[in-house]
């Protein structure tokens, strides 16, 4: 008894911890329980990503009577290899393991089929699985998760800790007869909810328009961003091609690439805003200053640069509208290397924007000491620099926001499981140029859409401003500019006086037409025409024409409820004779269900009649002609006093009209 007592004392003291661990290892098997991952919502509270409970199956190998039969039955249902499954179960049984995963997060049909087998030793548990209810919508923003519910891309990866919550545990016990039983462990704590700046409807329409444009142009890829310039909130970020995050493992790396913030390209003429902004800010030019464009060519330290069209003397505004390289280079040389570099940095080029996504690149911007003598000429027209679409959108947003650049961002707020806001994004802002310079640039950029290279960016009912860009790509074989591969882009905002959105469209390697004004500007127009009414932005443009008997057809429909589809059809049609201007366009219902008017001539078919433009300013006349699709020949300054054709004359689309102006001094 003394010996036994001594032995017991020894085991209970010095061997206690070791024996306890061995006992627990024999009796218990602890498996972690994944918490429910937090929701991802759009700015309106609509679900972009959620987790749903799915069945996962495991086996207690010691309880399975016939391993081969069980493995064969499970393999048929789960689509697994019967021999491999049988081998795993047999090895686990021989090693006395009490827990073996069979299949995790199976479909509802598979889960039902496994339960119907009623196999002894086969158990199930609920595990959350990530689902994206809108398929590929905002895929490059949301990203995706792996089998373990860990974020692998997008905001799922960046905010993985916030979304993940705290794991619980499942304790599987085994008695002295080696029978297994389940005992409750610690519960999992769900993750927090992310509310993004993305608007589901704006995102959907942007993606649809971009994808159609890329297909139409037979392009390699495309990117588009819709940004609120006042808050820095990104309403939409789209790439084409895209992918479905519900099946991300089966997609290519090219489809998952986020070109909106990873694709570095030479911006071309869209970059001219830097030289123009710097020259205006430093009082080195005026909007109405005449600039000699030298007949369309300039020699910059041995490098000869041409304009796409030979120009003589143009005002600074006209030079920007017509995208004169010579004028931009002259302004850049006035600014000088050091100040030019400073303004590029002010606008955010050469640095990451800080958006809450992985993989963003800083672009390419060499320090001044590494410039060649001719570099100032190249940089002024958007060469020898590399930017991303997001950087360029943020730069234009600074001009749209009276010279203040607000950091672009995707996260609006974080909410806890009770719905309380625990974090709200406060973006940084800094002044880039003065409000006076920004306002001057806005009006100069408006002329690009009215009289310059971006006439196809004009909107219905809204003023718009922006800049086209057409850049040659570098041929990797010759290290020289390619003659066949281009990047077409357009960056713009609307309305001009109080911009609500900045939209950038970049199309990589379009086939056929490749100029920004032909490829990207129409995409801007399509996106803006759809989203501005949806965002309740009031039209700021009215076309006044003589009262003519006409018939008004009012088409109305409820606003789309965020289901990813535009309103279709016309509800409650009503027609009545009224006196309205005859501007027959034929499009009745704008996407988004906004009430619009369609005006038809009383004679029956569509008609376009010459309005009375007398007494209007040059700017107003140019806008009216742009809206009607007419080419304007303007003579003189001041107010219109004579026009041809006469008021009320029938016009053809694209017809040239002559307007003479005079000052009423």
Q: Which domains does the chain have, with CATH numbers?
A: 28-195 (3.90.1310.10), 200-245+259-416+424-534 (3.40.710.10), 548-662 (3.30.10.20)
Q: Give residue 70's pLDDT.
A: 85
Question: For the whole model, what pTM was predicted?
Answer: 0.73
Interacting residues of 471 by C-beta distance below 8 A, sequence separation 6+: 265, 266, 267, 268, 382, 383, 486, 487, 489
Q: What integer is the mean pLDDT of 113-120? A: 85
CA dist., res. 199 & res. 195, Å (int): 10
Q: SS3 of 508, please?
A: strand
**Between 505 and 5, where is the model more confident?**
505
Q: Rounded to 5 degrees, what are φ and ψ at 207?
A: -65, -45
Interacting residues of 121 by C-beta distance below 8 A, sequence separation 6+: 59, 60, 61, 62, 63, 64, 65, 70
- DSSP string for residues in 191-252: PPEEEES--HHHHHHHHHHHHHHHHHTT-SEEEEEEE-TTT-BEEEEEEES---GGGGGGS-
CA dist., res. 586 & res. 567, Å (int): 17
Q: Give residue 182's pLDDT.
A: 58
The closest of 301, 469, 454, 287 to 378, measured between CA atoms, is 301
381-385, 394-398, 443-447, 551-555: the lowest-pLDDT one: 551-555
Q: How far is CA 399 from the centre of its chain?
A: 20
Q: 482: part of which helix (H) or strand (E)?
A: strand 480-494
Token digits of residue 488: 């077409």
- DSSP string for residues in 535-578: TTPPP--------EEEEEEEEE-PPP-SSS----S-EEEEEEEE
Cβ atoms 332, 456 nearer than 8 A: no
Q: Is position 547 annotated as part of the catalytic site? A: no
46-50, 269-273, 518-522, 558-562: the lowest-pLDDT one: 558-562
169 beta partners? 32
Asked if pLDDT for residue 50 goes beyond 80, the answer is yes
Q: Of these residues, 98, 164, 269, 324, which one is catalytic?
A: 269
Token digits of residue 177: 């007869």
* Percent of the chain at pLDDT exceeding 70: 85
Q: What integer is the mean pLDDT of 291-317? A: 94
81-90, 234-243, 478-487: which has the highest mean pLDDT? 234-243
Q: Give residue 87's pLDDT.
A: 85
**Average pLDDT value over all residues in the chain:** 84
Q: Give residue 590's pLDDT.
A: 32
Asked if pLDDT for residue 299 goes beyond 90, the answer is yes
Asked if pLDDT for residue 569 goes beyond 70, the answer is no
CA atoms within 13 A on the CB side of 391: 30
Q: What integer is the mean pLDDT of 475-491? A: 89
């Amino acid at each position: 008894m003394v010996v036994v007592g001594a032995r017991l004392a020894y085991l209970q003291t010095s061997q206690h911890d070791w024996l306890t661990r061995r006992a627990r290892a024999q009796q218990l098997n602890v498996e972690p329980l994944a918490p429910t991952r937090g929701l991802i919502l759009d700015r309106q509270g609509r679900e972009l990503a959620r987790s749903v409970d799915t069945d996962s199956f495991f086996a207690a190998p010691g309880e399975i009577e016939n391993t081969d039969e069980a493995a064969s039955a499970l393999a048929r249902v789960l689509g697994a290899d019967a021999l491999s499954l049988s081998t795993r179960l047999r090895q686990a049984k021989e090693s006395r393991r009490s827990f073996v995963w069979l299949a995790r997060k199976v479909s509802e049909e598979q889960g039902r089929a496994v339960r119907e087998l009623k196999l002894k030793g086969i158990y199930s548990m609920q595990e959350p699985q990530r689902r994206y209810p809108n398929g590929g919508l905002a895929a490059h923003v949301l990203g995706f998760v792996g089998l373990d519910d860990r974020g692998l891309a997008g905001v799922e990866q960046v905010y993985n800790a916030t979304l993940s919550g705290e794991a619980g545990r499942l304790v599987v016990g085994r008695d002295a007869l080696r029978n297994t039983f389940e005992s409750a462990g610690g519960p999992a704590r769900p993750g927090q909810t992310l509310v993004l700046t993305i608007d589901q409807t704006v995102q959907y329409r942007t993606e649809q328009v971009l994808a159609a444009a890329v297909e139409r142009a037979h392009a390699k890829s495309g990117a588009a961003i819709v940004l609120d310039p006042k808050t820095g909130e990104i309403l939409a970020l789209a790439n084409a091609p895209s992918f479905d995050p519900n099946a991300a493992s089966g997609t290519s790396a090219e489809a998952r690439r986020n070109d909106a913030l990873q694709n570095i390209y030479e911006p071309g003429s869209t970059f001219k805003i830097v030289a123009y902004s710097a020259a205006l800010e430093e009082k080195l030019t005026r909007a109405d200053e005449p600039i000699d464009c030298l007949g369309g060519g300039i020699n910059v330290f041995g490098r000869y640069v041409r304009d796409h069209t030979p120009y003589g003397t143009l005002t600074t505004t006209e030079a920007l509208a017509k995208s004169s390289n010579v004028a931009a280079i002259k302004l850049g040389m006035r600014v000088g290397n050091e100040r030019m570099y400073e303004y590029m940095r002010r606008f955010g080029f050469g640095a990451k924007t800080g958006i809450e996504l992985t993989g963003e690149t800083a672009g390419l911007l060499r320090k001044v000491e590494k410039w060649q003598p001719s570099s100032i000429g190249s940089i002024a027209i958007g060469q020898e620099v590399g930017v991303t679409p997001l950087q360029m959108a943020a730069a234009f947003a600074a001009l749209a926001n009276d010279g203040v650049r607000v950091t672009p961002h995707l996260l609006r707020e974080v909410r806890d499981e009770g719905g309380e806001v625990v974090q709200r994004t406060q973006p940084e802002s800094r002044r880039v140029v003065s409000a006076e310079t920004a306002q001057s640039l806005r009006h100069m950029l408006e002329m690009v859409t009215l009289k310059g290279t971006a006439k196809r960016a004009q909107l219905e009912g809204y003023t718009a401003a922006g800049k086209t860009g057409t850049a040659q790509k570098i041929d990797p074989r010759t290290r020289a500019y390619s003659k066949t591969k281009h990047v077409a882009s357009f960056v713009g905002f609307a309305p001009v006086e109080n911009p609500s959105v900045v939209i950038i469209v970049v199309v990589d390697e379009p086939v056929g037409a490749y100029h920004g004004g032909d490829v990207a500007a129409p995409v801007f127009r399509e996106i803006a025409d759809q989203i501005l009414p949806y965002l309740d932005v009031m039209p700021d443009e009215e076309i006044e024409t003589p009262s003519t008997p006409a018939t008004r057809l009012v088409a109305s429909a409820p606003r789309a409820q965020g289901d990813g589809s535009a309103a279709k059809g016309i509800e409650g049609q009503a027609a009545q004779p009224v006196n309205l201007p005859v501007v027959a366009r034929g499009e009745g219902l704008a996407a988004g269900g906004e009430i619009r008017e369609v005006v038809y001539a009383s004679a029956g078919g569509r008609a376009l009649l010459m309005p009375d433009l007398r007494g209007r300013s040059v700017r107003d006349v140019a806008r009216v002609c742009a809206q009607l699709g007419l080419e304007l020949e303007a003579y003189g300054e001041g107010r219109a006093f004579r026009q041809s054709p006469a008021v009320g004359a029938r016009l053809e689309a694209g017809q040239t009209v002559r307007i003479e102006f005079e000052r009423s001094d």
